[in-house]
Each structure stands twice: as C-alpha cells, then as structure tokens.
Structure 1
C-alpha cells in the first residue's frame, strides 16, 4: 500500500513525536510512505495537486483545517485517511478514529473505506461543516497565538467576545429552493461540533445530504439557550432552531460583508452557494465503524 502523509507542523502546537510513531507503524504494517511537511496555508492542496501519483491513500496529520486542504487536493479515487493532532478534530470524532498513533496507522492500512460525500462552498470542498453569523464570527475572531498555546480556550475567548453581536445581522437562506430567514446558520455533514459536542442528531456523514440548522430568533438570551443545549446534545430541540436536510443551500445578507467559516477556518464572505458533490470520497475507518 502506497501512502502519502501530509503533516501540518503547526496544528495543535506540533506533534513531531506522534508523527514519527505514526509513520513507523505504517511502515511496520508494510506500507510505503511518502512524508510531506506543509509550509503554510494552502500548501497541502498545492502539493497534492502537483503529484502525478498520490498513492492509494493520502493521510492528513493535523486538525480539521489540514484535512480540508488535503481534501481539496485529493485526486479522484484516492482514499483519505486522518490522524488527528489538531485542536478540535471534529471529523476524527465523527468517524470514531483513535488519537493513538499506532492504532490510527493500523486503521489506515488494515481498515475499510466508507463513502463520505463532501459539499462545495463557492466551489471549494468542505468535509464537515460551514457556518455564517455567530459561528463564522467566532472562527474569524480566534486569536491564532492563543490557539497555538491554549487550544480550544481560544475559541471560548472568541465566543464570549462575539455574543453581544448575535441578532444584528439577518440572513436569507434558500434550502433546496425554499426561502427561509435566520440570524445564524450552520450547514453540517456530520453530528459533531467543536470536537465531542453533538450539534445535530439528524445528520449522517454517510448520507449525501447536509443538515441545515437555522437560528431563527434574535437576542442574546436565545443564543445562550442554544449554547447550553449544545452542551447537552439537544440543539435541535430548542424552540427557534430549524433543522432541515438539503442538497443545495444558498445564503445571502444584504448590505454587509459577512464572513463564512468552513471546517473551522475562515472561508471568505457571503454570498454562499453550497452544493453536494456527485461522487463520494473513500475514507479510511476501522472495520467496526457503522
């Protein structure tokens, strides 16, 4: 098995020792490994696009942002593996992937493929989610130096800083052609958010549809209820949160430059056009994954 490992040395503050153990186990399992260290934002995508032969599998070693870059450079038919060493690692949680290097390597070599269908946000792939409104403000407001040093606490800091802004912007969302209004929205391919929190019990990463969560009431008190519900895995039970399946979503906001986040990183500005891809990506998971 030929494996290309793409490692982001800045994700999670760097995990060189874990990387060495991971690569050593891949080779112990009989894989031929090519290792690449990324040099900055967008480098993983550019590197992969320049390869004539990516191998049987490309493994993203880093966080969800690293996986997003690898996904956008992945050639058709090549499997995607993940060894999570980043801050949130939502996709790894969704696919029940281990954090131990040896176990993660064994899954890459000896596991199975499952079909995961990405979506495209304004032409660029994302694997887990994108958000506008409060969700995007939080991601855009993260202090990268604090994130590198303290991890998830950087997101908590940004969440607190952005709370009072919620409800100040109004968005028009077209869900498979159906017009709806909201004050924030998250479009997700899976159940999890921020690592271990359950955002949507209706979502299914193996289904070729996204789940659209619309936050349709203004006010800080409503937002705080939603955040409390997220901690309990009951977001879709909150009065004022709509949850719908979709294959195509369009989002606009008149008179304002509004950011978008995708897979935990800034992803440009509105308007947003989100469309499911026609073909799934094979992803490496444990044989026991269902």
Structure 2
C-alpha cells in the first residue's frame, strides 16, 4: 500500500513525536510512506496537484484545515485518511476516528472506505461545513498566534469579541431555490461543531445532503441562547432556528443595519461596510456572495471497521 502523508507542523501546536509513531506503525504494517511537511497555507494543495501518483491513500495529519487542503488536492479515486492532531478535528469526531497514533494508523491500513460526498463553496471543496455571519466573523477574526498557544480558547475569545456585531447584517439564503432570510447561517455535512458539540441531529456525513441552519432572529440574547442550546445539543429545537435539507445553497447580503436605520444592499445613499467573510472547515474561505453545491461523486474516506 502506497501512502502519502501530509503533515501540518503548526496544527495543534505541532505533534512530531506522535507523527513518528504513526508513520512507524504504517511502515510496520507493510506500507510505503511518503511524508510531506507543509510550509504555508495552500501548500498541501499545490504539492498534491504536482504529484503524478498520490498513492492509494493520502493522509491529512493535522486539523480540519489540513483535511480541507488535502481534499482540494486529492485526485479522483484516491482514498482520504485522517490522523487528527489539530485544534478541533470535527471530521475525525464525525467519523469516530481514534487520536492515538497506532490506532489511527491501523484504520488507514485495515479500516473500510466510507463514501462521503463533499460540497463546493464557490468552486472550492469542503467536507464538514461552511458558515456566514457570526460563525464566519469568529473564524475570520481569531488570533492565529494565540490559537497555536491556547487552542480552542482562542476561538472562545473571538466569540466574545464578535457578540455585539450579531444582527447588524441580514442575509438572503436560497435553499434549493427557496429564498429565506436570516442573520447567520451554517451549512453542514455532519452533526458536530467545534469538536464535540452537536450542531444538527438531522445531518448525516454519509448522506448526500447538506443541512442548513438559519438563525432568523436578531439580538445578542437570542444568540447567547443559541450558544447554550448548542452546548446542550438542542440547537434545532430553539425557536428562531430553522433547519432544512438542501443540495444547493446560495448566500448573499440582503441588508445592513446601523443603529435604527436599515438600508437594502445597493442603495446608493448607504455607505456599505467591508466585504462579508465566509468560513469553510474552520478556516477563512473568501467573501460573499457564495454558491454551495453538493458534488456528484463521493470521496472514499478511511474509517474503522
């Protein structure tokens, strides 16, 4: 078995010792391993696209951002595997993957391949989720240096800083052609958010469908209530949160709010703020407007037997 391992040395603060155990177990199991250390954002995509033969399987050794880059460089028919050593590892949680190096290596060598259908965001693939509004602001404004030092707490600090912005922008989300309005939205392929929090009980990573969660009320207290509901696994039960299935989603800004004045987008008298960010798999992924579409072909992902 020929395996390419893409290692992000900055993920989770770096895990070189665990990586050595992981690779040793692969080689002891008879695999031929090619290891690549990423050097900058986008490096994994460039490296993989430059390989004529990626092997039977490409392993993303890092967090969800590393998985996203590997996914975007992966050739059709090549299996995707994970060695979760990042901050959140949402996809690894979704798939029930072990974190111990030896156990993770055995999944690569002797696990089964689960077909998982990615989606594209403005042409770029993602596996887990994307978000606009509050969710995207938090990711866009997180301190990356602090993230390397304190992990998930850096996201918590960013969440606190972005609370006051919630409700200042509203979005028009088209779900399979049906227009809906909201103040934030998360489009997800799976159940989990931020590692272990249940975002949607209706989502299923093995199903070729996206689940769209729309936050349709403004106000900081409403948002705080949603965060509490998320921690309790009851977000979809909260009034003001809509959850609908979709295959194609488009998102654009519909209105900006400043004080008590609401102005439609495009009205010349209103000085528009900066571009609205969007996040995918926990990393910044560009700006609105956005088109999110399920792909036609699933990717084989290595999971436990």
Question: What's the TM-score once normalised by structure 1's chain length?
Answer: 0.98
Alpha-carbon separation, structure 2, partners of 1:130 and 1:176: 17
Alpha-carbon separation, structure 2, partners of 1:165 and 1:23: 45
Residue matched to 1:179: 179
2:211 corresponds to 1:211: yes
Residue matched to 1:38: 38
Say which of 279, 285, 289 aligns to 1:267.
Answer: 285
Gaps of 5+ in 1: none
Alpha-carbon separation, structure 1, partners of 2:7 and 2:101: 13
Residue matched to 2:258: none
Gaps of 5+ in 2: 254-264, 266-271
Alpha-carbon separation, structure 2, partners of 1:48 and 1:150: 30
After superposition, what is the alpha-carbon deviation per residue over 1:2-38, rounded to whole angstroms, capped at 9, x for unaligned?
Answer: 1000000011110000000000000111111000000
Alpha-carbon separation, structure 2, partners of 1:173 and 1:259: 15
After superposition, what is the alpha-carbon deviation per residue over 1:205-237, rounded to whole angstroms, capped at 9, x for unaligned?
Answer: 011111000000000010001000000000000
Alpha-carbon separation, structure 1, partners of 2:200 and 2:173: 19
Say which of 255, 263, 283 aligns to 2:301.
Answer: 283
TM-aligned CA deviation for residue 96 of structure 1: 0.3
Alpha-carbon separation, structure 2, partners of 1:211 and 1:28: 41
Residue matched to 2:83: 83
Where does 1:1-290 land on structure 2 (aligned, <5 Å)?
1-253=1-253, 254=265, 255-256=272-273, 257-287=275-305
Alpha-carbon separation, structure 2, partners of 1:262 and 1:188: 10
1:170 aligned counterpart, secondary structure? strand
Count, aligned residues: 287
| Deviation >4 Å, runs of 4+ | none
Alpha-carbon separation, structure 2, partners of 1:118 and 1:236: 23
1:172 aligned counterpart, secondary structure? strand
User: How large is the RMSD of aligned CA atoms in angstroms?
Assistant: 0.6
TM-aligned CA deviation for residue 202 of structure 1: 0.3
TM-aligned CA deviation for residue 138 of structure 1: 0.2
TM-aligned CA deviation for residue 45 of structure 1: 0.4
Alpha-carbon separation, structure 2, partners of 1:198 and 1:21: 31
Q: Which has the larger radius of gyration?
A: 2
Alpha-carbon separation, structure 2, partners of 1:28 and 1:226: 47
